[in-house]
């Protein structure tokens, strides 16, 4: 049975959780602890798949407990379930928590979050890989983006608009601010995927804390031997983002879908950044011997960059539309949903950009596009992409 640990110093809260989740007692092994030290003692006796903890508790608060669990038991999915959201604890928890739920939490949402977290663990079958990626609470940014953000936030009168512009160009920063904004961690808990708007919601003081106090944001330090290029990855992500958004615009999509498409394009290869950050030498050796195609990655690591990236973003609670596009952008036919959205736009844009940069045939799944009724529009999208490429080259 999958094991879940609930931690809260309020016995009435624990009793309420027991009643609420009683129908799942045959599926989950649920254990309840009244303090952080008790939770650590229980963890030492046997692993748990998921832990949900309150924040404000005597002896050891939730942020301190999360830090210890992340250090000792990194394979455990860490979720905050609390009604306490003071700034200091929020910043400390931002470093170690995967997701955030506010009290009182509706039973359906609580159960859905737990089920989602448990289902995620099956996405990465190799325990060592799953543990490494579950351990990740933030990814490094390009040195240029990190320097730009710190410069903005250190200025006498920092502009949140300028900060948002920096975040919008960096995949690691975008993923983290969206994790926070799409949870109840900062009091939003809504579907939001525009990086600039998200940064504005968080505000200058929160961005400063995430940059200087927590800190969550950091600069990527490239090992001298590494073949992986973050600059090249970000150039490709930017090109795919622009092309995907243009494709979505041609379909007269809503602003929400355009925002989802923008973020999906920016983050579609974030699994490569995770591989380079968590397995630098192994990834370097892989890039020396094999192309970074899904089957080759699965043979080398047990999962492709698409699966690793989507696991991480699912874990962080990003919207399904974005995670779906990251998961299936190379193999869209594996997605159960059959409608135009960020996945189709990113799949087309990525195939076109890989054709330009790698001199290979576009890897378009024409059968999938045919099922969506997009085949007739494909020539116009390719022509528009070629025109914009030519204009960029001329300039």
Domain ranges of the chain: 2-122, 147-213, 230-394
Q: Quick check: helix, strand or coil at residue 217?
A: coil
Tens of pLDDT, residue by residue over 237-247, are 999 999 999 99
Fold of 2-122: Rossmann fold (3.40.50)
Distance, CA of 50 to CA of 53 (rounded, Å) = 10
Fold of 230-394: Hypothetical protein af1432 (1.10.3210)
Question: Which pTM was predicted?
Answer: 0.85
Tens of pLDDT, residue by residue over 167-195, are 999 999 999 888 877 765 555 556 667 88
Distance, CA of 303 to CA of 313 (rounded, Å) = 15
Q: Is the pLDDT of residue 119 over 80?
A: no
Question: Are 2-122 and 230-394 equal in CATH topology?
Answer: no
Alpha helix ranges (H) inside the chain = 11-20, 36-45, 62-72, 87-94, 107-120, 127-135, 143-154, 160-168, 171-181, 195-208, 230-250, 255-267, 270-278, 280-289, 294-301, 305-315, 320-328, 342-358, 366-371, 378-394
Tens of pLDDT, residue by residue over 322-345, are 999 999 999 999 988 889 999 999
Q: Is the pLDDT of residue 165 over 90?
A: yes
Tens of pLDDT, residue by residue over 248-296, are 999 999 999 999 999 999 999 999 999 999 999 999 999 988 777 888 9
Distance, CA of 237 to CA of 187 (rounded, Å) = 30
Q: Is the pLDDT of residue 358 over 50?
A: no
Between residues 369 and 103, the one the model is more confident about: 369
Q: What pLDDT does residue 362 have?
A: 60
Instruction: Give, to the nearest 10 degrees, the angle between helix 270-278 and helix 171-181.
Output: 100
pLDDT > 70: percent of the chain: 93
Taking Cα atoms as reference points, which of 131, 212, 217, 135 lies closest to residue 170?
A: 217
């Amino acid at each position: 049975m999958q094991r879940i640990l609930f931690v809260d110093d309020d016995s009435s809260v624990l009793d309420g959780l027991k009643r609420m989740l009683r129908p799942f007692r045959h599926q989950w092994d649920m254990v309840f602890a009244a303090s952080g030290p008790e939770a650590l003692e229980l963890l030492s006796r046997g692993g748990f798949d998921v832990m949900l903890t309150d924040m404000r508790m005597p002896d050891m608060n939730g942020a301190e407990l999360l830090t210890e669990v992340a250090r000792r038991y990194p394979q455990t999915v860490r979720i905050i379930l609390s009604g306490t959201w003071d700034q200091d604890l929020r910043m400390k928890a931002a470093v170690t928590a995967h997701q955030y739920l506010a009290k009182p939490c509706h039973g359906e949402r609580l159960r859905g979050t737990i089920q989602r977290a448990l289902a995620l663990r099956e996405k990465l079958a190799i325990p060592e890989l799953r543990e490494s990626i579950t351990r990740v609470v933030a990814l490094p940014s390009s040195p240029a983006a990190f320097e730009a953000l710190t410069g903005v936030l250190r200025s006498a009168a920092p502009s949140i608009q300028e900060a948002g512009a920096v975040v919008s160009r960096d995949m690691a920063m975008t993923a983290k601010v969206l994790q926070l904004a799409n949870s109840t961690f900062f009091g939003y808990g809504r579907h939001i995927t525009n990086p600039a708007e998200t940064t504005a919601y968080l505000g200058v003081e929160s961005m400063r804390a995430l940059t200087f106090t927590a800190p969550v944001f950091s600069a990527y330090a490239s090992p001298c031997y590494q073949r992986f290029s973050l600059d090249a990855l970000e150039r490709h992500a930017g090109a795919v983002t622009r092309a995907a958004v243009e494709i979505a615009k041609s379909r007269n999509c809503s602003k929400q879908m355009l925002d989802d498409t923008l973020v999906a394009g920016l983050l579609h290869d974030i699994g490569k950044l995770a591989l380079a950050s968590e397995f630098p030498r192994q990834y370097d050796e892989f890039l020396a011997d094999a192309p970074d195609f899904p089957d080759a990655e699965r043979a080398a690591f047990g999962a492709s960059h698409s699966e690793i990236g989507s696991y991480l973003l699912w874990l962080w609670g990003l919207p399904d539309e974005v995670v779906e596009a990251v998961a299936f952008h190379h193999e869209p036919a594996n997605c159960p949903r059959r409608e135009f959205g960020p996945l189709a736009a990113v799949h087309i844009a990525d195939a076109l950009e890989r054709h330009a940069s790698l001199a290979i045939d576009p890897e378009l799944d024409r059968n999938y596009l045919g099922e969506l009724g997009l085949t007739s529009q494909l020539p116009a999208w390719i022509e528009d992409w070629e025109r914009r490429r030519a204009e960029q080259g001329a300039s």
